[in-house]
Amino acid sequence: MKKAFLIFTLIMMLIVPVHASSNVPALKVKNGKLVNAKGKVVQLKGISTHGINWFPRYVNQSTFNDLKKNKCDVVRLAMYTNEYNGYTSGGSKSKLLKLIDQGVSYAKKSHMYVIIDWHILSDGNPLTHLKESKQFFSKVSKKYKRVPNVLYEICNEPNNTSWSNVKSYAKKVIPVIRKNTNAPIIIGTTTWSQDVDQAVNSPVKGKNLLYAFHFYAGTHHQDLRNKLIQAMKKKLPVFVSEYGIVNADGNGKVNKKEANAWARVMDRYKLSSCMWNLSNKNESSSVLKANCQKLSGFKTSDLTVSGKWLKNYLTK
Ligand code: IDC
Protein backbone atom coordinates (compact mmCIF):
# COMPACT_ATOMS: atom_id res chain seq x y z
CA MET A 1 0.00 0.00 0.00
CA LYS A 2 2.75 2.41 1.03
CA LYS A 3 4.68 1.55 -2.09
CA ALA A 4 1.68 2.21 -4.31
CA PHE A 5 1.20 5.59 -2.66
CA LEU A 6 4.86 6.44 -3.20
CA ILE A 7 4.65 5.54 -6.87
CA PHE A 8 1.43 7.52 -7.23
CA THR A 9 3.06 10.57 -5.61
CA LEU A 10 6.10 10.29 -7.86
CA ILE A 11 3.95 10.08 -10.97
CA MET A 12 1.88 13.07 -9.86
CA MET A 13 5.04 15.07 -9.25
CA LEU A 14 6.10 14.35 -12.79
CA ILE A 15 2.76 15.09 -14.42
CA VAL A 16 1.28 17.95 -12.42
CA PRO A 17 3.91 20.67 -12.95
CA VAL A 18 3.49 20.44 -16.70
CA HIS A 19 -0.24 20.99 -16.54
CA ALA A 20 -0.33 23.27 -13.55
CA SER A 21 2.26 25.56 -15.07
CA SER A 22 -0.41 27.47 -16.92
CA ASN A 23 -4.08 28.04 -16.37
CA VAL A 24 -5.12 28.95 -19.88
CA PRO A 25 -6.53 26.14 -21.99
CA ALA A 26 -5.03 25.27 -25.36
CA LEU A 27 -7.05 26.75 -28.20
CA LYS A 28 -8.37 25.17 -31.35
CA VAL A 29 -10.17 26.29 -34.48
CA LYS A 30 -13.68 24.97 -35.00
CA ASN A 31 -16.23 26.07 -37.62
CA GLY A 32 -14.09 29.07 -38.48
CA LYS A 33 -13.75 30.24 -34.87
CA LEU A 34 -11.11 30.13 -32.19
CA VAL A 35 -12.48 27.92 -29.39
CA ASN A 36 -11.37 26.59 -26.01
CA ALA A 37 -11.19 22.95 -24.94
CA LYS A 38 -14.96 22.90 -24.34
CA GLY A 39 -15.64 24.18 -27.83
CA LYS A 40 -16.72 27.62 -26.61
CA VAL A 41 -15.79 30.52 -28.89
CA VAL A 42 -13.12 32.75 -27.37
CA GLN A 43 -12.35 36.30 -28.37
CA LEU A 44 -8.89 37.35 -27.22
CA LYS A 45 -8.13 41.05 -26.98
CA GLY A 46 -4.59 42.23 -26.61
CA ILE A 47 -1.57 44.08 -27.82
CA SER A 48 1.46 43.59 -30.02
CA THR A 49 4.90 44.60 -28.89
CA HIS A 50 6.84 46.89 -31.17
CA GLY A 51 9.82 45.03 -32.64
CA ILE A 52 11.40 43.12 -29.76
CA ASN A 53 14.60 43.71 -31.70
CA TRP A 54 14.28 47.42 -30.85
CA PHE A 55 12.18 47.55 -27.69
CA PRO A 56 13.22 44.48 -25.68
CA ARG A 57 12.56 46.28 -22.40
CA TYR A 58 8.80 45.84 -22.61
CA VAL A 59 9.23 42.08 -22.48
CA ASN A 60 9.20 41.86 -18.71
CA GLN A 61 7.02 40.42 -15.97
CA SER A 62 5.80 43.65 -14.43
CA THR A 63 4.67 45.05 -17.79
CA PHE A 64 2.86 41.80 -18.59
CA ASN A 65 1.22 41.76 -15.14
CA ASP A 66 -0.04 45.29 -15.76
CA LEU A 67 -1.44 44.25 -19.13
CA LYS A 68 -3.26 41.35 -17.51
CA LYS A 69 -4.68 43.67 -14.84
CA ASN A 70 -6.12 45.69 -17.71
CA LYS A 71 -7.88 42.59 -19.08
CA CYS A 72 -5.36 41.95 -21.82
CA ASP A 73 -5.65 38.30 -22.93
CA VAL A 74 -2.84 38.06 -25.43
CA VAL A 75 0.54 39.60 -26.17
CA ARG A 76 2.08 39.32 -29.61
CA LEU A 77 5.86 39.18 -29.68
CA ALA A 78 6.72 40.90 -32.96
CA MET A 79 10.18 39.85 -34.10
CA TYR A 80 11.29 41.63 -37.27
CA THR A 81 13.17 39.40 -39.67
CA ASN A 82 14.56 41.63 -42.41
CA GLU A 83 14.64 45.13 -40.89
CA TYR A 84 17.56 46.57 -38.93
CA ASN A 85 18.75 44.07 -36.29
CA GLY A 86 16.25 41.53 -37.56
CA TYR A 87 16.51 37.77 -37.03
CA THR A 88 17.74 37.27 -40.58
CA SER A 89 19.58 40.57 -40.94
CA GLY A 90 22.27 40.66 -38.32
CA GLY A 91 20.25 40.69 -35.08
CA SER A 92 21.59 38.37 -32.37
CA LYS A 93 19.63 35.14 -32.82
CA SER A 94 20.48 33.96 -29.32
CA LYS A 95 19.33 37.26 -27.76
CA LEU A 96 16.09 37.18 -29.73
CA LEU A 97 15.39 33.56 -28.83
CA LYS A 98 16.04 34.38 -25.19
CA LEU A 99 13.61 37.30 -25.36
CA ILE A 100 10.97 34.98 -26.79
CA ASP A 101 11.69 32.51 -23.98
CA GLN A 102 11.14 35.27 -21.46
CA GLY A 103 8.05 36.55 -23.24
CA VAL A 104 6.48 33.08 -23.25
CA SER A 105 7.31 32.53 -19.61
CA TYR A 106 6.02 35.96 -18.48
CA ALA A 107 2.82 35.50 -20.47
CA LYS A 108 2.36 32.09 -18.89
CA LYS A 109 2.88 33.48 -15.40
CA SER A 110 0.35 36.23 -15.97
CA HIS A 111 -2.09 33.79 -17.62
CA MET A 112 -2.10 35.38 -21.04
CA TYR A 113 -1.77 33.89 -24.50
CA VAL A 114 1.31 34.77 -26.50
CA ILE A 115 1.85 34.94 -30.26
CA ILE A 116 5.29 34.28 -31.69
CA ASP A 117 5.31 36.53 -34.74
CA TRP A 118 7.82 36.08 -37.59
CA HIS A 119 7.53 39.73 -38.56
CA ILE A 120 8.31 39.89 -42.25
CA LEU A 121 7.86 43.33 -43.80
CA SER A 122 10.50 44.56 -46.30
CA ASP A 123 11.06 40.88 -47.09
CA GLY A 124 7.62 40.93 -48.72
CA ASN A 125 7.74 37.36 -50.03
CA PRO A 126 7.85 34.95 -47.08
CA LEU A 127 9.87 32.50 -49.18
CA THR A 128 12.80 34.99 -48.99
CA HIS A 129 13.97 33.57 -45.66
CA LEU A 130 12.32 30.15 -45.82
CA LYS A 131 15.32 28.24 -44.53
CA GLU A 132 15.76 30.43 -41.47
CA SER A 133 12.02 30.43 -40.83
CA LYS A 134 11.93 26.62 -40.81
CA GLN A 135 14.87 26.46 -38.42
CA PHE A 136 13.29 29.09 -36.18
CA PHE A 137 9.84 27.47 -36.01
CA SER A 138 11.33 24.03 -35.51
CA LYS A 139 13.23 25.33 -32.49
CA VAL A 140 10.44 27.31 -30.84
CA SER A 141 7.63 24.82 -31.47
CA LYS A 142 9.75 22.10 -29.91
CA LYS A 143 10.55 24.23 -26.87
CA TYR A 144 6.95 25.28 -26.25
CA LYS A 145 5.12 22.17 -27.32
CA ARG A 146 3.68 21.73 -23.82
CA VAL A 147 2.82 25.39 -23.29
CA PRO A 148 -0.87 25.83 -24.16
CA ASN A 149 -0.50 29.64 -24.22
CA VAL A 150 1.48 29.78 -27.45
CA LEU A 151 0.17 30.60 -30.94
CA TYR A 152 2.39 30.86 -34.00
CA GLU A 153 2.22 33.57 -36.67
CA ILE A 154 4.37 32.45 -39.55
CA CYS A 155 4.53 35.61 -41.70
CA ASN A 156 3.34 38.99 -40.51
CA GLU A 157 2.52 40.82 -43.74
CA PRO A 158 3.30 39.35 -47.14
CA ASN A 159 3.39 42.15 -49.71
CA ASN A 160 4.37 42.53 -53.36
CA THR A 161 3.97 38.80 -53.71
CA SER A 162 1.31 36.27 -54.68
CA TRP A 163 -1.02 34.13 -52.59
CA SER A 164 0.49 31.07 -54.25
CA ASN A 165 3.91 32.05 -52.86
CA VAL A 166 2.41 32.49 -49.41
CA LYS A 167 0.68 29.12 -49.69
CA SER A 168 3.81 27.36 -50.79
CA TYR A 169 5.65 28.92 -47.82
CA ALA A 170 2.85 27.89 -45.43
CA LYS A 171 2.90 24.33 -46.77
CA LYS A 172 6.59 24.11 -45.91
CA VAL A 173 6.55 25.77 -42.49
CA ILE A 174 3.32 24.35 -41.02
CA PRO A 175 4.57 20.72 -41.04
CA VAL A 176 7.68 21.83 -39.15
CA ILE A 177 5.45 23.17 -36.36
CA ARG A 178 3.01 20.25 -36.57
CA LYS A 179 5.81 17.83 -35.82
CA ASN A 180 5.69 19.24 -32.30
CA THR A 181 2.30 20.79 -31.62
CA ASN A 182 -1.28 21.33 -32.81
CA ALA A 183 -1.26 24.91 -31.52
CA PRO A 184 -3.11 27.49 -33.64
CA ILE A 185 -1.08 28.86 -36.55
CA ILE A 186 -1.83 32.27 -38.09
CA ILE A 187 -1.01 32.65 -41.77
CA GLY A 188 -0.39 36.15 -43.16
CA THR A 189 -2.30 37.14 -46.28
CA THR A 190 -1.16 39.21 -49.26
CA THR A 191 -1.26 43.04 -49.45
CA TRP A 192 0.02 43.46 -45.87
CA SER A 193 -2.44 40.88 -44.54
CA GLN A 194 -5.58 42.31 -46.08
CA ASP A 195 -6.49 39.78 -48.80
CA VAL A 196 -8.56 37.34 -46.79
CA ASP A 197 -10.65 36.85 -49.96
CA GLN A 198 -7.72 34.95 -51.47
CA ALA A 199 -7.72 32.60 -48.50
CA VAL A 200 -11.46 32.07 -48.88
CA ASN A 201 -10.97 31.09 -52.54
CA SER A 202 -7.97 28.91 -51.92
CA PRO A 203 -7.44 27.95 -48.29
CA VAL A 204 -4.43 26.10 -46.90
CA LYS A 205 -5.29 22.55 -45.89
CA GLY A 206 -4.90 21.62 -42.24
CA LYS A 207 -6.28 21.94 -38.73
CA ASN A 208 -6.14 24.86 -36.32
CA LEU A 209 -5.18 27.36 -39.00
CA LEU A 210 -6.23 31.01 -39.02
CA TYR A 211 -5.57 33.82 -41.49
CA ALA A 212 -4.22 37.22 -40.53
CA PHE A 213 -6.27 40.31 -41.26
CA HIS A 214 -4.71 43.70 -40.46
CA PHE A 215 -6.20 47.19 -40.63
CA TYR A 216 -5.25 50.76 -39.71
CA ALA A 217 -8.38 52.78 -39.04
CA GLY A 218 -6.89 56.06 -40.28
CA THR A 219 -6.31 54.56 -43.73
CA HIS A 220 -8.70 51.62 -44.10
CA HIS A 221 -12.44 52.11 -44.03
CA GLN A 222 -15.70 50.48 -45.12
CA ASP A 223 -14.28 48.97 -48.35
CA LEU A 224 -11.80 46.88 -46.45
CA ARG A 225 -14.35 46.10 -43.75
CA ASN A 226 -16.62 44.69 -46.44
CA LYS A 227 -13.84 42.34 -47.48
CA LEU A 228 -13.55 41.11 -43.90
CA ILE A 229 -17.32 40.74 -43.54
CA GLN A 230 -17.48 38.70 -46.77
CA ALA A 231 -14.80 36.37 -45.37
CA MET A 232 -16.74 36.09 -42.11
CA LYS A 233 -19.85 35.06 -44.04
CA LYS A 234 -17.77 32.32 -45.64
CA LYS A 235 -16.67 31.24 -42.14
CA LEU A 236 -12.98 31.88 -42.73
CA PRO A 237 -11.00 31.62 -39.47
CA VAL A 238 -9.40 35.03 -39.00
CA PHE A 239 -7.16 36.57 -36.34
CA VAL A 240 -6.66 40.35 -36.39
CA SER A 241 -3.10 39.90 -35.22
CA GLU A 242 -2.26 43.55 -35.81
CA TYR A 243 -4.28 46.74 -36.13
CA GLY A 244 -3.89 50.40 -35.43
CA ILE A 245 -6.38 53.21 -35.06
CA VAL A 246 -4.00 55.65 -36.80
CA ASN A 247 -2.62 55.71 -40.36
CA ALA A 248 -1.00 52.67 -41.96
CA ASP A 249 2.43 54.24 -41.48
CA GLY A 250 1.90 53.87 -37.73
CA ASN A 251 1.56 57.61 -37.23
CA GLY A 252 -0.86 60.49 -37.77
CA LYS A 253 -4.19 61.28 -36.17
CA VAL A 254 -6.35 58.71 -34.42
CA ASN A 255 -9.60 58.09 -36.29
CA LYS A 256 -11.99 57.21 -33.48
CA LYS A 257 -15.07 56.97 -35.64
CA GLU A 258 -13.48 54.38 -37.92
CA ALA A 259 -11.79 52.65 -34.96
CA ASN A 260 -15.18 52.17 -33.32
CA ALA A 261 -16.69 50.88 -36.56
CA TRP A 262 -13.85 48.31 -36.79
CA ALA A 263 -14.32 47.35 -33.14
CA ARG A 264 -18.03 46.72 -33.71
CA VAL A 265 -17.23 44.32 -36.55
CA MET A 266 -14.55 42.52 -34.53
CA ASP A 267 -16.97 42.11 -31.63
CA ARG A 268 -19.85 41.01 -33.84
CA TYR A 269 -17.77 38.15 -35.25
CA LYS A 270 -15.82 37.55 -32.03
CA LEU A 271 -12.54 38.20 -33.76
CA SER A 272 -9.42 38.11 -31.63
CA SER A 273 -7.05 41.02 -32.02
CA CYS A 274 -3.82 42.74 -31.03
CA MET A 275 -3.24 46.47 -31.26
CA TRP A 276 0.07 47.83 -32.55
CA ASN A 277 2.12 48.78 -30.41
CA LEU A 278 3.45 48.41 -26.87
CA SER A 279 6.18 51.04 -26.72
CA ASN A 280 6.85 54.70 -26.08
CA LYS A 281 8.25 55.32 -29.57
CA ASN A 282 7.34 58.81 -30.69
CA GLU A 283 4.53 57.78 -33.07
CA SER A 284 0.80 57.82 -32.51
CA SER A 285 0.35 54.04 -32.78
CA SER A 286 2.38 53.61 -29.57
CA VAL A 287 0.22 53.18 -26.49
CA LEU A 288 2.69 54.97 -24.19
CA LYS A 289 3.66 58.61 -24.42
CA ALA A 290 7.22 59.27 -25.55
CA ASN A 291 8.13 60.78 -22.19
CA CYS A 292 6.85 57.77 -20.24
CA GLN A 293 9.90 55.81 -19.14
CA LYS A 294 8.01 53.40 -16.87
CA LEU A 295 7.69 49.69 -17.55
CA SER A 296 4.70 49.23 -15.25
CA GLY A 297 2.36 51.13 -12.97
CA PHE A 298 1.09 53.12 -15.92
CA LYS A 299 -1.41 55.89 -15.20
CA THR A 300 -3.99 57.20 -17.65
CA SER A 301 -1.77 60.24 -18.08
CA ASP A 302 1.01 57.95 -19.39
CA LEU A 303 -1.20 56.71 -22.24
CA THR A 304 -1.48 58.16 -25.72
CA VAL A 305 -4.86 58.50 -27.44
CA SER A 306 -4.26 55.00 -28.90
CA GLY A 307 -3.41 53.71 -25.43
CA LYS A 308 -6.55 55.14 -23.88
CA TRP A 309 -8.72 53.74 -26.65
CA LEU A 310 -7.17 50.29 -26.18
CA LYS A 311 -7.63 50.38 -22.41
CA ASN A 312 -11.29 51.10 -22.98
CA TYR A 313 -11.61 48.35 -25.61
CA LEU A 314 -10.00 45.80 -23.28
CA THR A 315 -11.89 46.71 -20.15
CA LYS A 316 -15.33 47.79 -21.32
C1 IDC B 1 6.24 50.23 -38.19
C2 IDC B 1 6.61 50.89 -36.89
C3 IDC B 1 7.70 51.92 -37.11
C4 IDC B 1 8.85 51.21 -37.80
C5 IDC B 1 8.41 50.53 -39.09
C6 IDC B 1 9.52 49.74 -39.73
O7 IDC B 1 5.47 51.48 -36.30
O8 IDC B 1 8.11 52.50 -35.89
O9 IDC B 1 9.87 52.15 -38.07
O10 IDC B 1 7.35 49.65 -38.81
O11 IDC B 1 9.35 49.67 -41.08
C12 IDC B 1 2.57 47.36 -40.29
C13 IDC B 1 3.73 46.53 -39.87
C14 IDC B 1 4.48 47.17 -38.73
C15 IDC B 1 4.56 48.67 -38.90
C16 IDC B 1 3.14 49.23 -38.83
C17 IDC B 1 3.07 50.75 -38.96
O18 IDC B 1 3.36 45.21 -39.53
O19 IDC B 1 5.77 46.59 -38.67
O20 IDC B 1 5.33 49.20 -37.86
N21 IDC B 1 2.33 48.60 -39.87
O22 IDC B 1 3.57 51.16 -40.17
N23 IDC B 1 1.64 47.01 -41.15
C24 IDC B 1 0.81 48.05 -41.32
C25 IDC B 1 1.23 49.07 -40.51
**Annotation marks residue 157 as catalytic:** yes
Per-residue pLDDT reduced to its tens digit, 74-123: 999 999 999 999 999 999 999 999 999 999 999 999 999 999 999 999 99
Q: Where are the beta strands (DSSP E) in 101-206?
A: 113-119, 150-153, 185-187
- Quick count: other Cβ atoms within 10 Å of Cβ 224? 19
Number of the ligand 1 atom closest to the C-alpha atom of 277: 7
Phi, psi for 151 (deg, rounded to 5): -120, 155
Instruction: Output the CA 256–ligand 1 centroid distance in Å.
Output: 20
> 57-87 burial string, b = 16+ CB within 10 Å, else e?
ebbeeebbbbbbeeebbbbbbbbbbbbeebb
- Identify the DSSP state of 82: S
Please, which pLDDT band fits residue 20 given cuts at 50, 70 and 90?
A: very low
Instruction: Report pLDDT for 22.
Output: 59
**pLDDT of 12 over the 70 cut:** no
- Among residues 83, 153, 157, 258, the one annotated as catalytic is 157
Q: What is the pTM of this model?
A: 0.94
Residue type, 269: Y
**Ligand 1 in contact with 156 (CB < 6 A)?**
yes
Q: Whose CA is nearest to atom 2 of ligand 1?
A: 250
Pocket test for ligand 1, best of 285, 287, 304, 306 (most atoms within 8 A of CB): 285
Q: Whose CA is nearest to atom 19 of ligand 1?
A: 121
Identify which has the larger pLDDT, 142 or 21.
142
Instruction: Output the CA 102–ligand 1 centroid distance in Å.
Output: 23
